[in-house]
Structure 1
Amino acid sequence: MSHRGQIIEKIIRRSGYSITRLAKKLGISRNTLYNRFENANLGYRFIMEVGNIIHYDFTIDFPEMKEEIELMGDTPIRSFDRETAERWKAESKYILLLEKYTKLLGMLAKLANENTLTTLKKEILDFIEKEEKL
């Protein structure tokens, strides 16, 4: 099961919406908001409220959320630009892939350095230098 609090925090940060401003609009302190991000089973009502404030449709990330909220009789989720939400999701996956790629390059460079594989080491360093120029 995915950690709802971490997912919500990541999306808020990607949106560029201020944590302080969000906490104020929610009527809670920043510390309380950060504590909510630690909750793996954060409630859908709260998630819906955050989505309405930052203009993000969390049903993309939690498809089961819409059905559960409708069963509880809560206010329907506002419709947001799904294309933007999908773009944010794809961007998150891309960044994660880049982070793994960078870690792998570092591991290869370390391995080449430790085993005196000078040719491999030179190729890796040249590649990293070339990528940094882009």
Structure 2
Amino acid sequence: MIHRGHIVEKIVRKSGYSLTKLAEKLGISRNTLYNRFDNANLGYRFIMDVGNIIHYDFTLDFPEIKKESSLIGDYSMVVPKREDRAADLWRIEGKYTHLLEKYTKLLGILVKIANENELHTLKKEIVNLLEKETRG
């Protein structure tokens, strides 16, 4: 299950927008803002308010917002192409990081199996692969 609050928080932090200023513009305290970020079912209206302030189109992350015509009608924000690319890059970076973590875990498991079963050739190949990656 996706955690809307965490996604919004991550995007706000990556945008570099001050959390203090964001809370101020939303008319809430910083503590309330943090509490909202902890809400897995953060409301779409709040998400759109945040997006309007930081100039980010959250419909890229939550396409279901587009189905809520009552929400879209209130926000006639046009996101410049540069910000669309930045949003795409953030999403790709997140996917890449997740994939890299899985890859590292898998290599650790392979090394463990190689050690337990005395598969010296496999272990040597994994070590060589890791050395090539750190050099390149």
**Fold-level similarity (TM above 0.5):** yes
Equivalent-residue separation in structure 1 for 2:76 and 2:106 (angstroms): 41
Task: Look up the SS of the partner of 1:75 in the other structure.
Answer: coil
Equivalent-residue separation in structure 1 for 2:71 and 2:48 (angstroms): 13
User: Which residue is 1:92 aligned to?
Assistant: 94
Equivalent-residue separation in structure 2 for 1:115 and 1:32 (angstroms): 54
Matching residue's letter, 1:124: I
Q: Give the alignment's TM-score, normalised by structure 1.
A: 0.80
User: Which residue is 1:111 aligned to?
Assistant: 113
Deviations 1:72-95 (A, max 9, x none): 586214121323222222222122
Query: Residues 17 and 54 of structure 2 are in contact (CA less than 8 Å); yes or no, is this contact kept in structure 1?
Result: yes
Matching residue's letter, 1:93: K
- Cα deviation for residue 60 of structure 1 reads 0.9
Give the alignment of 1:1-134 within 5 angstroms.
1-68=1-68, 70-71=69-70, 75-80=74-79, 81=81, 82-134=84-136
Task: Look up the SS of the partner of 1:107 in the other structure.
Answer: helix
Moved over 4 A (4+): none
Give the gaps of 5 or more residues in structure 1.
none
Equivalent residue pairs, number: 133
* CA RMSD, Structure 1 to Structure 2 (Å): 2.4
Deviations 1:30-71 (A, max 9, x none): 433222222111011211122122221001111221342x42
Q: Give the alignment's TM-score, normalised by structure 2.
A: 0.79
Closer, same or farther: CA 73–104 of 1 in aligned 2, 3 Å: closer
- Cα deviation for residue 2 of structure 1 reads 2.4
Query: Residues 52 and 77 of structure 1 are in contact (CA less than 8 Å); yes or no, is this contact kept in structure 2?
Result: no
Query: Residues 51 and 58 of structure 1 are in contact (CA less than 8 Å); yes or no, is this contact kept in structure 2?
Result: yes
Closer, same or farther: CA 96–19 of 1 in aligned 2, 3 Å: farther
